[in-house]
Each structure stands twice: as C-alpha cells, then as structure tokens.
C-alpha cells in the first residue's frame, strides 16, 4: 500500500512464480506456495489453511502466523477487509445463523479464520451425528498490545477487554471460551476482532496496533477418553520503519512521543523476540535439547503462546504478506528474510495425548473450588486480575468437560 508516495527503495520484487520470490537479487524459495496478488480469498484458504484444518481435525495442534509490514494485507488475509466481520454478523438474518451451513454467510472477501471455523464446525457436527465419538468446539479471541515499555497487555476481545494471561501450559488464561454450535456463533466470535485497537499511520488508515490471537479449541471424547487440541491464528501487528522517507510515523517527532510510536516499538521488539525464539529453538533441536531457553525476551506473551511450535509438537505455518509498492521494496526484502528464518523452525508434529475424561472432570472441579475459595477470602490488589483469570479458566474447563460428558452419555 502506498498512501503518501514516499521514495523508491533500492530493492524491489524482480520476479515471482508459484514457489519462489526474487527480491533485490535474492531468491526466497522456502515457501510452500507463492500466491499472486489477484488471487481470491477462497484460493488462499484452499492453498494454505484448508490442509491445516484437516490436520487439526486429525488431532494435531496448529499455529498459523500472519506476518508482514504495516499495510501489507495480514488482517485482510486472516479476516477480510475492515469491518467485513461486523457486516457478516449483521447480515445473519432473523434466524441468527442457525445450523452449521456456510451458505449465504461466507462472501468472496472473507478470510481464513471465518472459513476455517465454519469447516471445523461442520466436521464437529458430523462427529456428533456419526460414530461413537462426541465433540465440542469453542472459540476465543484476544489482543496483545503495550501499556508501558515493560508492561504488556493481553485482553479478551469477546468479553469487554477483560485482562487475560498465559498460563504455565502456554494457553490463554481467563479468556472467554464461547461454545460454537452454529454458523452464527462462529461469525459472532470472528466479529469480535472489530473491537481490536486500530490507529491511522502513514501506511494505512486502519492499522492494527496490536497482535491478535484467535483460537479454536476442539474437544473430542470416545468412551472415557478425550483429546483436546487448539488451532491458534496469530494476526501480527506489522513491522514498522521509523526513519527515512518511507517511515510509517511522523519523522518530525520522537517515536516515543506518541502512543502510535510506542505501539510500533512494541511490534518491532516482540517480532524480534519471536525470531530470537525461532533461532534458539532451531539451535536446541539440532543439539537434541528441549529445555526452556534462558533469553528473557522469550517471555513475551506472543512467544509464550507459541511454545507449542518452539518446544512442543504443533504444526506451524506462516503467511508472509508483502507489498509490491516501490517505496516498500526494502521492507519486502526484510519480510522475506524473516519468513526464510522462520523456515528453520522444523519441529516434529505429534497428535495430542488422550486423557481420562472422568478423572479430569474431577480435577477441574477441584481446581475451580480451590481458586474460588481463595477469591472469596480476598486477594491483594495486584493479584486480583490473575486470580479472576484462573477462576474463569477453570470454569471454562469444567463447562467444556461436562458438555463432553453430557454428549457422551446422550449417545
């Protein structure tokens, strides 16, 4: 995107085909696919996301990351144009999107997340109407932004921006897990992205000023065993330039003098932490070690949620979005280098373990009672939000497992 002209960069996209991009004389061919600018959203979904949806339904955790400079099309790829999710929610009609069909709901401009959620929902419906398995699907959505240089913020976009955390298992703690039983439920969950923090920059009018993470949690029971997996979609805030004619911000003032500048600093810092985590994970795998890295930069919420990709067995994919505008050639080159670096993250995917359903229902209820007792006694100010998040987490877990038990007994 090229709103205000800028200056032509030294590096430019010279050529691309179905597997390789040549930029600034360098070949970037680590991608599974290179998708042309005029490709449809359906083609993008079928090429990139649909195979991962199928692996998710087979029992794998999946992380999908959308990366690129500000204004390069990350949010468009994940959700669609600005306000498209809000329009989809308003267009559900009098029945509110009852049933699981996507007919009349998915429009050509809609992106990966809505399409994925609806395909997963239809698979869940088939499980519940088919063999001995029972399944439930739940959705969450949070944004990660910055309050101060040393204070990150994780808030629930579904539940009035309530403060959330990342727990020791590297999952969202305190975020709403809304049941997704109909197509309308999936649309309404996806439409919560419209409450995400946005701000205008020199690159575009509605720049996302936070990282957004949408999560589909799939729980499947068979007999007294159950398996729980997560498909996490990361729509990252764009990398930004602060100096020169192609800066995303006003170069006449310090980047630290505005909230938009601080947000850009947070974006670049957290994206640097992400690449640092990738490099360390790749190095440790080569050495055959799976110990937690010591780098304090890796304790950022973004990298914490991606632990399944760094130290676990999640299937990981990254959509690298680039701009063809002459002013963005340098950023495009750096984006492709970043994507090439991500390709070094070669873990060994494994399906999630099956656990005892009845025992884990009892455990979840016990944990919920324990935290509820602590909250009832009173919690010191700075720990109130954390305890509230823990209580919500165990409430979610109890509800999900009880729903599985109920479905199992009803078969």
Domain at 13-355: CATH code: 3.40.850.10
What does pTM read for this prediction? 0.88
More confident residue, 284 or 259: 284
Mean pLDDT calculated for residue range 383-402: 94
Q: For 177, how many CA atoms within 13 A lie in the half-sphere containing its CB?
A: 24
At 361 the three-state DSSP class reads helix
C-alpha closest to that of 236 among 145, 139, 332: 145
At 340 the three-state DSSP class reads helix
Dump pLDDT digits (tens) for 300-318: 788 889 989 888 899 999 9
- Outline where 288-356 has alpha helix (H): 301-305, 307-310, 329-342
- Pick the most confident of 13-22, 215-224, 377-386: 215-224
Mapping DSSP onto H, E and C, the string for 246-273 reads: CCCCCCCCCHHHCHHHHHHHHHHHHHHH
In angstroms, how far is CA 18 from the centroid of its own chain? 26
What confidence score (pLDDT) does residue 334 get?
Answer: 84
Q: Where are the domains of the chain?
A: 13-355
Mean pLDDT calculated for residue range 377-387: 88
At 205 the three-state DSSP class reads coil
- Outline where 34-82 has alpha helix (H): 41-44, 50-57, 74-78
Mean pLDDT calculated for residue range 119-123: 98
- The answer, yes or no, to whether residue 243 has pLDDT greater than 60, is no
Mean pLDDT calculated for residue range 346-357: 93
DSSP state of 71: T
How far apart (Å, rounded) are the C-alpha atoms in residues 127 and 143?
31
CA dist list (Å): 14 to 20, 32, 331: 11, 19, 14
Mean pLDDT calculated for residue range 120-148: 90
Mapping DSSP onto H, E and C, the string for 87-130 reads: HHHHCCCCCCCCCCCCCCCCCCCCCHHHHHHHHHHHHHHHHHCC
Residue 121 near residue 100 (C-beta atoms within 8 A): yes
Dump pLDDT digits (tens) for 33-74: 899 989 999 999 999 999 999 999 999 999 999 998 888 889
Average pLDDT of the chain to the nearest whole number: 85
- The answer, yes or no, to whether residue 134 has pLDDT greater than 70, is yes
For 192, list phi and psi in degrees, rounded to 5. Answer: -65, -15
Dump pLDDT digits (tens) for 196-230: 865 545 455 555 668 899 999 999 999 999 999 99
């Amino acid at each position: 995107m090229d709103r205000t002209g800028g200056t032509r960069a030294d590096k430019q996209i010279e050529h691309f085909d179905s597997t390789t991009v040549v930029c600034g004389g360098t070949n970037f061919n680590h991608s599974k696919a290179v998708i042309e600018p005029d490709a449809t959203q359906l083609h993008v979904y079928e090429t990139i996301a649909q195979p991962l949806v199928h692996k998710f339904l087979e029992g794998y955790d999946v992380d999908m990351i959308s990366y690129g400079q500000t204004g390069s099309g990350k949010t468009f790829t994940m959700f669609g144009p600005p306000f498209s999710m809000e329009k989809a929610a308003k267009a559900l009609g009098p029945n509110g999107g009852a049933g699981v069909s996507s007919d009349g709901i998915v429009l050509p401009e809609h992106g990966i997340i809505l399409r994925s959620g609806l395909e997963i929902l239809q698979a869940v419906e088939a499980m519940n109407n088919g063999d001995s398995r029972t399944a439930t699907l739940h959705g969450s959505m949070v944004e990660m932004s910055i309050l101060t240089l040393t204070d990150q913020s994780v808030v629930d976009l579904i539940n009035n921006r309530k403060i959330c955390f990342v727990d020791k298992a590297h999952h969202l703690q305190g975020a709403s897990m809304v049941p997704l039983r109909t197509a309308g439920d999936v649309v309404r969950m996806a439409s919560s992205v419209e409450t995400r923090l946005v701000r205008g920059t020199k690159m575009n009018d509605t720049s996302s000023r936070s990282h957004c993470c949408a999560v589909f949690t799939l729980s499947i029971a068979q007999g007294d065993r159950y398996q729980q997996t997560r498909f996490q979609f990361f729509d990252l805030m764009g990398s930004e330039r602060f100096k020169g004619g192609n800066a995303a911000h006003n170069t006449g003032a310090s980047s630290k003098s505005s909230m938009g500048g601080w947000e850009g600093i947070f974006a670049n810092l957290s994206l640097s932490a992400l690449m640092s985590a990738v490099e360390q994970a790749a190095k440790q795998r080569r050495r055959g070690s799976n110990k937690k890295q010591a780098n304090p930069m890796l304790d950022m919420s973004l990298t914490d949620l991606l632990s399944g990709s760094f130290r676990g067995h999640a299937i990981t994919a990254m959509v690298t979005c680039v701009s063809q505008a002459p002013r963005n050639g340098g950023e495009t080159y750096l984006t492709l280098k970043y994507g090439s670096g991500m390709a070094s993250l070669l873990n060994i995917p494994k399906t999630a373990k099956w656990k005892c359903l009845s025992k884990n229902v009892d455990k979840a209820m016990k944990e919920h009672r324990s935290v509820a007792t602590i909250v009832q006694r009173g919690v010191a100010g700075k720990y109130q939000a954390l305890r509230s998040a823990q209580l919500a987490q165990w409430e979610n877990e109890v509800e999900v497992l009880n729903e599985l038990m109920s479905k199992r007994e009803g078969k």
